[in-house]
Amino acid sequence: MLPNVVLNQHWTGFRCTVCDRAYPVEFDSMVCAECGVDGILDVVYDYNAIGDTINREAPFPAGGTRDLWRFAPLLPMHPQKYHSAWSVGGTPLHAPQELRNKTDLPYLHLKDDTSLPSASLKDRASAMAIVDAVRRGISHIACASTGNAAASLSVLAARAGISCTIFVPASAPEAKLAQLLLHGADVIRVDGTYDDAFDLSIQEINAHNWYSRNCAYNPLLVEGKKTAALEFILQLGLKLPDVIFVPTGDGCIVSSIAKALRELFEICLIDKLPKVFGVQAEGASPLSTAWQNHANHGDMNGQEILELIPSMTPDTLADSIAVGTPRNRIKAWKRVSATGGGFVSVSDNQILEAIHLLASKAGVFAEPSGATGFAGVLKAREMGLITGEERIVVMVTGHGLKDPGAALSKVTVPEPTSL
Ligand SMILES: Cc1ncc(COP(=O)(O)O)c(C=O)c1O
Ligand SMILES: [Zn+2]
């Protein structure tokens, strides 16, 4: 039996990112009733009330565990007790000296989420999904995924004793499929792209009344991902970085990081917003392409943003961010532009180079998508968007052993030595 779940009394409801319509906490359809699938919702809180509950000398005390529920004041709900199905978080923030020296980035930090139970940042969202499913009394969870959200759901659902169905594009790497199948997920391989898998998953979820762990669709899941940023700000002793680089596919992680910072600002724990950059692979770069093509990034409504961002057929070795139609594009665009950051894209070769540098100079083995944020730092310096002197945090979002094939192209396997 999983422990009970408690609602945050300062969670006031949802707001549509397209039309700004407000919905109460009890609203249980995942998207805006008027705008349909494009009307992704944002979770809204009473920040004044939350601010009054925060101890400014020692905000978010860890208590006995260092998991993400320490941030309960800024989350919609929390479980009453520890359980391994949802107690994740507390990952390291590295200050990698060798990598700093090698790349001449003296204030570089790596937020290393490769050490979570399923080896990607997605565990933060899956933990929230399991808690919310328990609250609603739903015992079957489903999602579409390029691989990591699925792996994460299958690991944590197995811990919770909850069943799950997962829709993956046929191209998902074998290591990721192995993880799903071994943990007992029901896997549907879709002969198409992630975007096709996503559409099919929504149909099936609605038909069977399953719980949807589609982060781009279920607004509560971004809240779990927010905790990665809340953690690194605490790890920096509330001393703000200047810029943050985040690998970006659907745009959920990047919007969650920007939302976390905005909320720390709203509750007056920080007094300005660092710039957040979403980094896409060139072969799957709708956000970055639209960003470079349009000078005016702020002051646009949801509909205008939708019209600006092209869909494309993804073509990159970074399978986790091979997304042609970023489902969270409005949220990502609005949140990133509010920080003064932006979107950039990097080539597959730059991603491979980033994997190599992270592994050899920082001891952090990232899968291609996981290394894309760091590739973005090098690209942003080339483009003159940063000088390199800034305090930088890079999100490393997924472990390299999930897709070692890509990394092998950067090394030479030695011939066996004859005895
Ligand atoms: C390792 C990794 N990094 C980054 C991302 C991009 O996240 P989002 O789709 O929220 O932009 C993903 C998404 O699958 C991922 O698995
Ligand atoms: Zn709407």
CA atoms of 15 and 39, how far apart (whole Å): 9
Q: Is the CB of 253 under 6 A from ligand 1?
A: yes
Q: Whose CA is nearest to atom 1 of ligand 1?
A: 398
CA atoms of 82 and 338, how far apart (whole Å): 35
Q: What is the pLDDT of residues 3-45, one digit of tens each?
A: 899 999 999 999 999 999 999 999 988 899 999 988 999 999 9
Q: Are 279 and 376 in contact (CB under 8 A)?
A: yes
Q: Are 342 and 379 in contact (CB under 8 A)?
A: no
Select from 394, 324, 318 the least CA-distant residue to 350.
318
Residue entry with tokens 């249980």: 28
193: pLDDT strictly greater than 90: no
pLDDT (0 to 100) of residue 186: 95
Q: What is the pLDDT of residues 256-308, one digit of tens each?
A: 999 999 999 999 999 999 999 999 999 999 999 999 998 777 778 888 898 99
E strand or H helix at 36: none
173: pLDDT strictly greater than 90: no
Q: What residues pair up with 81 in beta bridges, in sequence order? A: none
Closest ligand (CA of 285): 1
Is residue 217 helix, strand or coil? coil
pLDDT (0 to 100) of residue 362: 98
Residue entry with tokens 């930090």: 109
* DSSP state for residue 79 in the 8-state scheme: E
**CATH fold match for the domains 93-119+221-407 and 123-212:** yes
Both tokens assigned to 314: 């993804």
Candidates 369, 402, 403: which one to mutate for ligand 1, based on the most atoms within 8 Å of Cβ? 369
pLDDT (0 to 100) of residue 8: 98
Q: What is the pLDDT of residues 112-156, one digit of tens each?
A: 999 999 999 999 999 999 999 999 999 999 999 878 999 999 999
Determine the topology of domain 93-119+221-407 in CATH.
Rossmann fold (3.40.50)
φ, ψ (nearest 5 deg) of residue 150: -65, -50
Q: Whose CA is nearest to atom 15 of ligand 1?
A: 320
pLDDT (0 to 100) of residue 9: 98
CA atoms of 396 and 374, how far apart (whole Å): 8
Name the CATH code of domain 123-212 (choices 2.70.180.20, 2.40.50.140, 3.40.50.150, 3.40.50.1100).
3.40.50.1100
Q: Is the CB of 255 under 6 A from ligand 1?
A: no
Closest ligand (CA of 17): 2
Q: Which of 34-43, 100-109, 234-243, 352-361 has the lowest mean pLDDT?
A: 34-43
CA atoms of 287 and 290, how far apart (whole Å): 5
**Mean pLDDT in residue range 230-247:** 97
CA atoms of 191 and 197, how far apart (whole Å): 8
CA atoms of 260 and 230, how far apart (whole Å): 6
Q: pTM for the complete prediction?
A: 0.96
* Packing angle, helices 148-160 and 174-182, rounded to 10: 20
DSSP string, 278-329: EEEEGGG-HHHHHHHH-S--SS--HHHHHHHSPP-----S-GGG--SS-TTH
Q: What is the pLDDT of residues 355-400, one digit of tens each?
A: 999 999 999 999 999 999 999 999 999 999 999 999 999 999 999 9
The percentage of the chain sitting over the pLDDT mark of 90, rounded to a whole number, equals: 82
Q: Where are the domains of the chain?
A: 5-73, 93-119+221-407, 123-212
Which atom of ligand 1 lies nearest, measured to the CA of 367? 1
pLDDT (0 to 100) of residue 126: 97
343: pLDDT strictly greater than 90: yes
pLDDT (0 to 100) of residue 411: 84
Is residue 130 helix, strand or coil? helix
pLDDT (0 to 100) of residue 413: 87
Q: How far is ligand 2, taken at its centre, from the CA of residue 300, in Å?
A: 15
Neighbours of ion ligand 2 (CB under 5 A): 16, 18-19, 21, 32, 34-35, 39
